[in-house]
Chain A
């Protein structure tokens, strides 16, 4: 039998049990390790030096003091913190610590300090990262090295050090070498580790990583057509809408300036996808990315839906997921076009007003062409809501208001060559294909305005190009 105890000086309970450790050692072999100061405990002549924490890591110590009994190589009993009865059971000794309280909780092991589990897992081979390691002589140069190697979207990146990547990987239970899928355009394998490196560069925190993985998987769904979205001449890039409890948990913004700057999760989750496309897939502007203009959302475009009204059906639920499920929805979107609609006081009038703004998507005379996201502000929603309109009524009202006489839209009408097939002059024509208009709630109070995010012209091929919603596993 051998007893092993792990302590640190910076722990009141470890100092409390010092006489107990002396008692134990008088009667049995005791190996003692100190995590912070090998001269502690002085009365026992100090401890073995475990300031590098290797022994503590191997013993999976989470609390100090911890007392463990081994029979040969095998651990047979363990107690963390001070508990007289338990210590006596583990040490197989009686009358330990007379005069001490019966119980006192221990302190956190130094192996549990932030970043330490990952540091130790890397140092001791428990976490193997397979990416090539690139030496940078001076840490100050790391961001410039990343630029020189073409890893950046134009903004500085967070250097993907092994420790940062290991910490990102702590945000998921998935193995680093698991392949998520093939990233266009080069159809290169993307492992969880490569996704983590790019999420680090984008500025993500580990708790965002499950969202990032779901976003990548949604982008790889064949219905989304990520290759075509990258390659298109059109403005669009992936727009990410997050629903469910994860949005609040990671502090996403669905309120004021939700489509703008200033929130780390909003900013970095969208950017992580774009960096994966760039770095793993090889999708570069001027290469396979043939955009005539692009749009600023191609740096990042991600926001959460406002689900604060229990009467509102969130986008995820409208798209078939259970309430309370965290999801990402990917849409092929352009920039934001504002609609000012301050005079409507009825749901019907407001729907007609918003529809006029939506008709501008792609071209006012095109129909059944690109889709759109309509982001309804709280003040506009209040008008709908007071009139008894929720998602179903709003979508129906918009659909009706977005149905126009073909004669106004045909090529040549109003002296404008652009337009729909002249054969449709006598029809009533929908602006959007079924399912191509996503209505979501976001934004801050104080403005009778809503936002249109126009879609990709290839959404007219409704069977080939669709928004995709995917559950974020918890």
Chain B
């Protein structure tokens, strides 16, 4: 019996994401800038305002970010700004 070759076309985007090791959390928050990212979902500000008050009370530096709507991904500009300015980011997801 002859072995016939059967071919399929790859239906995927044929891309493989680069896997990078997650950066380990800083040993200390001293001097760190903490980003607070709102996805603009109901009540995420309530949560993030509380976090901001508590972190500020501890003398930490806060930077606030938001994307205009939770229904769409954050823009490159918002993500880039967080990368440039923050050491740690807290994201307020969900309700």
For B15, give its contact among A142, A161, A188, A201 (CB under 8 Å): A188
CA distance A316 to B3 in the complex (A): 52
Cross-chain contact B9 with A161 (CB below 8 angstroms): yes
Residue B4 at the chain A interface, CB threshold 8 Å? yes
Partner of A464, one of B9, B10, B72: B72
Q: Which residues of A contact B9 (CB under 8 A)?
A: 129, 131-134, 160-162, 165, 193, 197
The listed residue (B8, B13, B71, B94) touching A188 by CB distance below 8 A is: B13
Is the CB–CB distance between A282 and B14 below 8 Å?
A: no
A139 at the interface (CB under 8 A from B): yes
Evaluate whether A133 and B7 lie within 8 angstroms (CB atoms) in the complex, with A194-B13, A280-B13 already known: yes
Q: Find A201's partner among B11, B72, B73, B94 (CB 8 Å cutoff).
A: B11
Residues of A contacting B15 in the complex (Cβ-Cβ under 8 angstroms): 186, 188
A145 adjacent to chain B (CB < 8 Å): yes
Q: Is A228 touching B6 in the complex (CB atoms < 8 A)?
A: no
Q: Are B11 and A151 in contact (CB under 8 A)?
A: yes
Contact with B along A193-224 (1 / 0, CB 8 A): 11001100100000000000000000000100
* Nearest chain A residue, comparing its CB with the CB of B73: A227
Report if A146 contacts B (CB, 8 A): yes
Contact-residue bracket for chain A: 35 or more
Interface of A is mostly: mixed
Q: List, in ascending order, chain B residues with CB within 8 A of A222's CB.
A: 72
* Distance between Cα atoms of A465 and B72 in the complex (Å): 9
CB of A142 within 8 A of CB of B11, answer: no
Q: Which residues of B contact A188 (CB under 8 A)?
A: 13, 15
Interface of chain B residues 7 through 65 with chain A (CB within 8 A)? 7-15, 17
> What residues on B are CB-neighbors of A189 within 8 Å?
13
Q: Interface residues of B: mostly helix, strand, loop or mixed?
A: loop
A238 to chain B, nearest CB (A): 14
A461 contacts the other chain (Cβ, under 8 Å)?
Answer: yes
In A56-101, which residues have CB < 8 Å from any B CB? none
Given the interface pairs A201-B11, A279-B12, the reply to whether A139 lies near B72 with Cβ below 8 Å is no
The yes or no answer to B5 lying at the interface (CB within 8 A) is: yes
Give Cα A282 to B13, complex, Å: 8
Specify which of B8, B13, B17, B73 is in contact with A136 (CB 8 Å cutoff): B8
B interface residues, how many (CB within 8 angstroms) = 20
Residue numbers in B under 8 Å from A155 (CB-CB): none
Q: Which of A145, A279, A464 contacts B71 (CB 8 A)?
A: A464
For residue A309, CB closer than 8 A to chain B, the reply is: no
Q: Please tell me if B70 contacts chain A, counting CB pairs below 8 Å.
A: yes
What's the minimum C-beta distance from A363 to chain B, rounded to whole angstroms?
13
Does A26 make an interface contact (CB < 8 A)? no
Residue A159 lies at the interface, judged by CB distance under 8 Å to chain B: yes
CB-based nearest B residue for A288: B73
Q: Are B8 and A461 in contact (CB under 8 A)?
A: no
Residues of A within 8 A of B5 (CB): 135-137
Which B-chain residue is minimally distant from A281 (CB atoms)?
A: B13
A151 in contact with B69 (CB, 8 Å): no
On chain B, the residues within 8 Å of A279 by CB distance are: 11-13
Distance between Cα atoms of A162 and B6 in the complex (Å): 10
Chain B positions within 8 Å of A225 at CB level:
71-72
Given contacts A194-B13, A198-B11, contact A465 B6 (CB under 8 A): no
Q: What does the 1/0 interface line of A262-291 toward B look like (CB < 8 Å)?
A: 000000000000010001111000000000
Contact A465 B71 (CB under 8 A): yes
Residue of B nearest to A150 (CB): B12
Per the bound structure, the CA–CA distance linking A159 and B7 in Å amounts to 9
A225-B72, A228-B70 known; A280-B12 Cβ under 8 A: yes
Distance in angstroms between the alpha carbons of A142 and B13 in the assembled complex:
19
In the bound assembly, the distance between CA atoms of A158 and B12 in angstroms comes to 15
* Chain B: CB-nearest residue to A191: B13
Partner of A233, one of B3, B6, B14, B94: B94
| Cβ–Cβ contact A134 & B7, under 8 A | yes
Closest A residue to B15 using CB positions: A188
Contacts of B72 in A (CB 8 A): 222, 225, 227-228, 464
> What is the interface of chain A, defined by CB distance below 8 A to chain B?
129, 131-139, 142, 145-146, 151, 159-162, 165, 183-186, 188-190, 193-194, 197-198, 201, 222, 225, 227-228, 233, 275, 279-282, 458, 461, 464-465
27 contacts between A and B (CB under 8 A): A131-B10, A131-B11, A131-B14, A133-B9, A134-B7, A134-B8, A134-B10, A135-B7, A136-B5, A137-B5, A138-B6, A139-B6, A142-B6, A165-B9, A185-B73, A194-B11, A194-B13, A197-B9, A222-B72, A227-B73, A228-B72, A279-B12, A281-B13, A458-B70, A461-B69, A461-B71, A464-B71
Closest 10 A-B residue pairs measured CB to CB? A188-B13, A228-B71, A197-B11, A131-B9, A132-B10, A139-B6, A136-B6, A279-B11, A225-B71, A458-B71
